[in-house]
Amino acid sequence: MDYDPQVIEERWRERWASEGRYEAEPTADDGAIEKTFVTVPYPYPSGGMHIGHARTYTVPDVYARYRRQRGDAVLFPIAWHVTGTPIVGAVERLRNGEQRQIDSLQNAFGVPEADLRELETPMGYARYFIEEAASSYKRGMRRLGLSIDWRREFTTNDERYSRFVTWQYETLRERRLLEKGKHPVKYCTREENPVTTHDLLEGEEAEFQEYTLIRFEWERDDDVVIAPMATLRPETVRGVTNVYVDPAAEYVLATVDRESWLISEPAVEKLRLQQRSVEVVERFAGERVVGERVRNPVTDEAVLVFPAGFVDADNATGVVMSVPAHSPDDYVALREVQADAERLARAYGLEEASIRAIEPIPILTVEGYGTVPARTAVEDAGIDSSDDPRLDEVTTALYRDEFNDGRLTEAYGPFAGDVVRDARSSFRERHRDRGHFDTFYEFTEEVICRCGGAVAVAYQDTWFLRYDDPGWKEKAHRAVARLDAIPENTREQYADTIEWLNGWPCIRNYGLGTRLPWDPTFVIEPLSDSTIYMAYYAIAHRLEDVPVEELDREFFDTLFSGPEAVDDPNETAIALREEWEFWYPVDVRCSGNDLIRNHLTFFLYHHAELFEEPHWPRGITVMGMGLLEGRRMSSSKGHVVLPGDAIDRYGADTVRFFLLNAAEPWQDYDWQAEEVGTTRDQLERFWHHAQTIIEADRSRSSSELPSTEPDGGRSQLERIDRWLLANLQDTIREVTDALERFETRTASQVVFYRFEERLRWYRRRTDLDRPGAQSTLRAVLETRLRLLAPLIPFVTNELHEQLTGLPADDAPWPDPDHALEAPQVSAEERLVSALYDDIAEVASVTGTDPSTVRIYVAEGWKRQVLRAVVEQASGTDGVPQVGTVMASVMENDALRERGEEVNTVVARLIETVRDRGAGEVEHLDEIDELDVYDDASAFLSREFDAEVVCVPETETDDEKATDAIPLRPAIRLE
């Protein structure tokens, strides 16, 4: 029978679906059956499924299948995340006929022209990629053979799900873990609307930058005008020697929140968006204020306003302060101003001397620079003009060094001696509280909306999840402490994330999802509506029968906290509570390692707050990223592989096996077509070997009576059979351990690749037609099929059923059989393979093709020495010392007489023994070497095409024989 995965796999898919094989039900709670609840983040169908997703969902499937074989009730559900703007945005771009969007759908996911119309509503779009498209998630998941309970699927836009999220957010608000605050957002000034990253034409990488505004004061007539200097380095305020404006740009005098401010014209609109009232009073060119004096609020010093072409009136307030001691730009600019002092003095009515008198004011010391760091930086680089392109580099370098190593001077009082990185934010807070500083948001680069309008920072009212609440943080830490974090080194990352999290703005102005219950103009954003939905899975399919109106606060309070939590508990909720309690907590959540810093930590936070401790998550397994032929996958560039295509080409088992075996789940992996092809070949080879065994088994059982021997035929087993079966027991143990820890790669390496290697040796080593060999091979195949079933379910179920009449899924997980463990046999077999290598090496080095191989086995006193070494070794953890061994050996008169000879043998034996594991050492002196080599002589004779003779060294007069030492026979080739 040929290996045809397409036929085999389709047959099993249909069988599983029609049997409802993976539909999970709670079992009677008599403690006899354990449960396992495994989840994976629900997919976001803003496009089709690619091969990276396939791995994400296959890893938990392996665990689900493994636990099922162990007898657990296993729940592995899935749903669909449609919250937020990505889908809405994609639909909009499609409606606008944007070619980039169309190309991406067609190239990456093979969407046919005719289907594009279906994608013109958000839920139509979502539905398409959930189940209709050739590249849809559901199709991909079914084809991969994921053991999902499909009855529980839902989307995050469903009415009932929204009621559940509503319950969550109302509860959090009541507990004051949800609070109102302000937050910067991207805002299109043309459409007058907030926008998301997907709506941008330019500046997708732009970040919000929080500028500090230093409120310099300009006394003008009787009025005090605030000149707000925008800076990212507020701690340099004491080093200001002057300020700059762009003389050619338009500036205004405006009333800002009832004060007079001097700002550039473009800053007016920005300030308005940042929730300030701004009325322009007067407009003029920047030149108008040159030569004025403004007073530093921190030092009380007044400094001059100079003109500078480098000032960008479009950035922040258009008024900047100059700190020549610490900014190479300012340093060079000041020198240029001073060189031009005469003209400036004349033009703006200043005293030339006061311009020339300006000196940089150092405010911090930093290693590797002089007292005026900017001067050092500029002079070392040999820069003498503000046009020098290297000015940027030295500026960046100096900013970095000052931030990390710069220590503030005495003038800073309480901050004196502090490193900037530690002092900056508290320094800023302090002066903000005193009314010296203000805040202004600006992007790091220009941002343009797809509509062509400029995007600015708007500072808006929003709701925050209080991840910074100390009580909540503490609970989250407790959830981390009791978590089974896989791999273990992620535990610290969760803890770090908790420490680092502040308030999280959890609503958006538009998008799909659940509305904020008390203000439906907002929608709860995707990372915030997906923190406890695993609880919803437990009862999702049951809620279908509950009228939506019944799903109120009390309903969910009853469901999750018990009937005593409310006055009038809903009967259905009480019934469903049992079901929920059966499945909860989540035993393992599998997710991408990039989600540690948000989703996974949120998941812990919300569970810790909303559920009792026994219902907190038990484990999280984190997964690595995928590469495609060494490069990052990218659906917009069409650099993707679709699971459907891969399955058509190689079969689902191959795709699974490759993904599971390419790396451990948490490591990054690389999809390489060539390697996948090899995997397919290996499965095919496995299939053919299995077929041979199955056929032999059939013809045997039809022609022979079943074995009636009381030991089940074990007496027919030879040493080499026992060796293979002993290996099988080790394999069972190792695979079980590996799967418990999600080490899918180790599991497949051990049971598949490493065992294939053992089988290769076995096949060479023995006559496979013996009944003992036949039954060994059959037993090995059956066990391996069960061990492989979680990884490659189609081919193993098929073969297991062919072999035993029962699918592998229905067969219990194998347990190691102690009667078959045989450490001594393993030690013996190592001697045979070492002997084989030695013969081969001698033959090759000497260039001989022997017709006779004589093997001389050490005897007599040498065995006594071995015994002494082994005794010492077992006393010292497997590491015998030469001195102690010699001492004990020399107590024996006969041995002492041999002196130097004994010494040599001891040294060599100690070396050999050290090379063995402690478990093996104790068996070494029990081995009957002659018997072992005799036993292997047929094999050796076949391999070397020579006569093989084993003789004790005492029974020959060949000089060579004296070279024999225990465990290392002497060899003569003739």
Partner RNA sequence: GCGAGGGUGGCCGAGUCUGGACAAAGGCGGCGGACUUAAGAUCCGCUCCCGUAGGGGUCCGUGGGUUCGAAUCCCUCCCCUCGCACCA
Binders in 485-504 for RNA, by CB under 7 A: 489, 492-493, 496, 500-502, 504
CB of 407 to RNA, least distance (A): 14
CB within 8 A of 844, min separation 6: which ones?
A: none
Instruction: Please select the residue that binds RNA; options are 190, 764, 896, 942, rule is CB under 7 A.
Output: 764
**Amino acid identity, residue 228?**
P
Question: Which residue in 835, 870, 886, 902 binds RNA (CB under 7 A)?
Answer: 835
Check binding of 399 to RNA (CB under 7 A): no
Q: Toward RNA, which CB reaches closer, 381 or 834?
A: 834
User: Which lies closer to RNA via its Cβ, residue 255 or residue 848?
Assistant: 848
Residue 519's alpha-carbon distances to 170, 174, 179, 327, in angstroms, are 12, 15, 13, 47
Q: Considering only residues 421-440, where is the footprint of RNA by CB under 7 A?
A: 421
For RNA, the closer CB: 613 or 911: 911
Distant-in-sequence, close-in-space partners of 121: CB < 8 Å, separation ≥ 6:
91
Member of 5, 47, 77, 84 binding RNA (CB under 7 A): 84
Instruction: Render 790-823 in DSSP notation, one character per residue.
Output: TTSHHHHHHHHHHHHSS-GGGSPPP---GGG--H
Interactions with RNA, residue window 788-807 (CB under 7 A): none
Min dist CB 841 to RNA, Å, is: 5
Whether the Cβ atoms of residue 610 and residue 560 lie closer than 8 Å to each other: yes
Q: Which stretch binds RNA (CB under 7 A): 196-204, 227-235, 287-295, 364-372?
A: 196-204
Quick check: 207 binds RNA (CB under 7 A)? yes
For the bound state, the minimum distance from the C-beta of residue 353 to RNA, rounded and expressed in Å, comes to 41
Residue 947 to residue 774: CA distance in whole angstroms: 27
CA distances, 585 to each of 485, 611, 616, 899 (Å): 15, 10, 6, 70
CB of 689 to RNA, least distance (A): 8
CB of 570 to RNA, least distance (A): 32
Question: According to the 3-state scheme, what is the secondary structure of 65-131?
Answer: HHHHHCCCEEECCCCECCCECHHHHHHHHHHCCCHHHHHHHHHHHCCCHHHHHHHHCHHHHHHHHHH
Contact segment (CB under 7 A) with RNA among 125-133, 327-335, 836-844, 866-874 equals: 836-844
Residues 654-683 that bind RNA (CB under 7 A): 663-664, 667, 670, 674-675, 678, 681-682
Residues linked to residue 276 through DSSP beta bridges, in sequence order: none
Planar angle of CA 192, 197, 199, nearest 5 degrees: 55
> b/e string for 687-707 if b means 16 or more Cβ within 10 A?
beebeebbeebeeeeeeeeee
Q: Which two tokens stand for residue 792?
A: 């490659």
For the record, the structure tokens of 914 come out as: 């050290």
Of the candidates 303, 292, 318, the one whose C-alpha atom is nearest the C-alpha of residue 220 is 292
Paired tokens of 432: 């903000």
Output 75 or 185, the one with its CB closest to RNA: 185
> Shortest Cβ distance from residue 526 to RNA (Å)?
3
Whole-number Cα distances in Å, 674 to 628, 629, 658: 12, 9, 11
Nearer to RNA, 185 or 543 (CB): 185
Amino acid at 85: T
Q: Which of 15, 95, 482, 914 binds RNA (CB under 7 A)?
A: 914
- Measured CA to CA in angstroms, residue 608 lies from 486, 528, 579, 675 at distances of 19, 15, 20, 44
Pair of tokens at residue 214: 């230093």
- How far apart are the C-alpha atoms of 974 and 962, rounded to whole Å? 17
Please identify which residue in 69, 85, 729, 766 interacts with RNA, judged by CB under 7 A.
85
973 binds RNA (CB under 7 A): yes
Subset of residues 721 to 750 that bind RNA, contact rule: CB under 7 A? 749
Which range in 70-78, 556-564, 712-720, 844-852 contacts RNA by CB under 7 A?
844-852
Q: Which is nearer to RNA, 581 or 838 (CB)?
A: 838
Amino acid at 938: A
Q: How many residues bind RNA (CB under 7 A)?
A: 76
Shortest distance (Å) from residue 842 CB to RNA: 5
Instruction: Provide the minimum distance between the beta carbon of 916 and RNA in the complex, in angstroms, as a whole number.
Output: 5
Sign of CA dihedral 677, 681, 687, 691: positive
Among 13, 597, 700, 863, binds RNA (CB under 7 A): 597
Site string for RNA, 231-260 (x = CB under 7 A): ------------------------------
**Only segment of 14-22, 282-290, 557-565, 963-971 that touches RNA (CB under 7 A):** 963-971
Report how far apart, in Å, the C-alpha atoms of 388 and of each of 322, 375, 384, 401, 612 are. 19, 15, 7, 21, 64
- Burial class from Cβ neighbours inside 10 Å (0-12, 13-18, 19+) for residue 97 reads exposed
Neighbours of 552 (CB within 10 A): 16
Q: Which residues contact 24 (CB under 8 A, 6 or more apart)?
A: 73, 74, 75, 76, 77, 149, 583
Of the candidates 47, 86, 617, 772, which one interacts with RNA according to CB under 7 A?
86
Using alpha carbons, select from 586, 548, 643, 467 the residue that is nearest to residue 74.
Answer: 586
Between 435 and 630, CB nearer to RNA: 630
Member of 350, 454, 527, 566 binding RNA (CB under 7 A): 527
Q: In terms of CB distance, is 322 or 766 closer to RNA?
A: 766
Closest to RNA by CB, 251 or 686: 686
Min separation Cβ 165 and RNA, Å = 14
**181 makes contact with RNA (CB under 7 A):** no
Structure tokens at 962: 């004296």
Segment contacting RNA (CB under 7 A): 138-146, 276-284, 566-574, 957-965?
957-965
Q: Stretches 123-131, 171-179, 866-874, 908-916: which one binds RNA (CB under 7 A)?
A: 908-916
| Closest separation in Å from C-beta 942 to RNA | 11
The DSSP-derived string for 325-359 is: TT-HHHHHHHHHHHHTHHHHHHHHT--HHHHHT--
CB distance 531 to 81 below 8 Å: no
Residues of span 877-906 touching RNA by CB under 7 A: 879
Shortest distance (Å) from residue 307 CB to RNA: 34
Contact range with RNA by CB under 7 A, out of 105-113, 221-229, 525-533, 697-705: 525-533
Q: Is the Cβ of residue 11 or residue 400 nearer to RNA in the bound state?
A: 400
Interaction of residue 631 with RNA, rule CB under 7 A: no
What is the contact mask toward RNA in residues 107 to 146, using x (rule: CB under 7 A)?
----------------------------------------
Closest CB to RNA among 404 and 426? 404
